[in-house]
Amino acid sequence: MRLLHRQSVRHALSCLIALMLGMSCALHAEPVKLLPNAQFTLEFPELPATYYQQKTGKETVPQLSAQLPEDYAAGKTFPLFVFIDGGNGGAGANVAFTRRIIGPRGFIAVNLPLFKDPKAKPPILPGVTLNMGSLVNSNDASVLSTSYQAMLEKLAQTVPNIATERSTLGGFSNGAHATSVLAAAKDTYILKHFSAFVLMEGGIGFALNPSTMGDPALQGHRFLVLYGDTEKKLKHRLQRTLVATPLIKLVERQARSAGIDLTRITMSGYGHEEPPAYLELIGAWARGETLPEVK
């Protein structure tokens, strides 16, 4: 214990000296062992503060967490299944939840944090009185794009056998908003590296501009949209009925008229939540399986 303490003190002193000299300082991370079921994190101290840090005030280094599938082998390729949490997005350490959605085989599970421009103005949706300032929106597209590209490129360097043409990006609530913002912005890197997108109880990128769903740049990409039909509070129920549902249907019509592959699922009896049965459905959809009936 004393040795570890001395090492920590020496490292802190060397970092302080390096900073005073204008040099960077970082711990040398252990190399990732590419083995079946291996879990690992990648850190990005050069990136801006995550939305999680902005909201909680906790000093954290932006990171992603990932887990290789149980059938991982160096001679095969594996697509990514990336899922982004709602709310403040978390610290990027929730890969176990992502793995439960996609299952243990065939996909590399990845959890990313959220990024949000603290100077960005909140979006405006007619008829909605919720605090829109907490929603990730199109004004955050730039910080999302640059941060996710940096993260995913480092992941690709770490795991060289990723099958980008079969990879899925998605999320719940704010995670779905972030996903839709990048897709609606026709982010070149994201559209090149992901062929499927999951929007669970979110999708402001398309809701604010439904015609974007018909853009030719989205041809060849699949979309899964899941929304509940129930709310406990009258105010939220009216907003879902009068605003959210019509916008979702409009986005769906735009997709169909443009020949975009979009599947819309109503989570009957649920509101703004992640029912386990529908999480299983997301996994089946990403794997290209026949969707199970949800009772």
Instruction: Return the domain boundaries, the chain.
Output: 1-30, 33-287
Q: Region 41-61: what's the mean pLDDT?
A: 96
| pLDDT score recorded for residue 12 | 45
As beta bridge partners, residue 84 has: 112, 171
Confidence of residue 261 (pLDDT cuts 50, 70, 90): very high
Q: Can you read off the two tokens belonging to residue 110?
A: 């990845």
CB distance 194 to 167 below 8 Å: yes
What is the value of pTM for the model shown?
0.86
Residue 125 CB neighbours (<10 A):
18
| pLDDT score recorded for residue 19 | 44
Q: Which helix (H) or strand (E) holds 43?
A: strand 39-43
pLDDT tens-digit series, residues 119-173: 887 776 665 555 667 889 999 999 999 999 999 999 999 999 999 889 999 999 9
| pLDDT score recorded for residue 60 | 93
| pLDDT score recorded for residue 125 | 64
pLDDT tens-digit series, residues 85-115: 999 999 999 999 999 999 999 999 999 999 9
| pLDDT score recorded for residue 221 | 96
pLDDT tens-digit series, residues 234-248: 666 767 775 677 788
DSSP codes, 147-176 = HHHHHHHHHHHHS--B-GGG-EEEEETHHH
Mean pLDDT score across all residues of the chain = 87
Q: Region 36-46: what's the mean pLDDT?
A: 98
Confidence of residue 38 (pLDDT cuts 50, 70, 90): very high
Confidence of residue 231 (pLDDT cuts 50, 70, 90): confident
- Looking at 183-192, 229-238, 259-268, which range is the least confident one? 229-238
Among residues of the chain, what percentage have pLDDT more than 90?
A: 71
| pLDDT score recorded for residue 164 | 87
Q: In Å, what is the CA distance from 118 to each residue of 51, 115, 139, 183?
A: 9, 9, 10, 21
| Range from 40-44, 226-230, 258-262 that averages highest in pLDDT | 40-44
Q: Can you read off the two tokens belonging to residue 194?
A: 């992901």
Q: Residue 10: is its pLDDT beyond 70?
A: no
Contacts of 62 (CB under 8 A, 6+ apart): 43, 44, 45, 47, 48, 49, 50, 92, 113, 115, 147, 151
Residue 234 one-letter amino acid: L
Strands 108-112 and 80-84: parallel
With H, G, I as helix, E, B as strand and everything else as coil, classify residue 294.
coil
CA–CA–CA angle 269, 272, 274 (5° rounding):
80
Q: Using alpha carbons, select from 178, 109, 167 the residue that is nearest to residue 288.
A: 167
Q: Can you read off the two tokens belonging to residue 139?
A: 């004004």
Q: Residue 8: is its pLDDT beyond 50?
A: no
* Better-predicted residue by pLDDT, 241 or 60: 60
Q: Which helix (H) or strand (E) holds 261?
A: strand 261-267
| pLDDT score recorded for residue 16 | 47
Sign of the torsion formed by the C-alpha atoms of 103, 106, 111 and 112: negative
Q: Which fold has domain 33-287?
A: Rossmann fold (3.40.50)
| pLDDT score recorded for residue 234 | 66
| pLDDT score recorded for residue 121 | 77
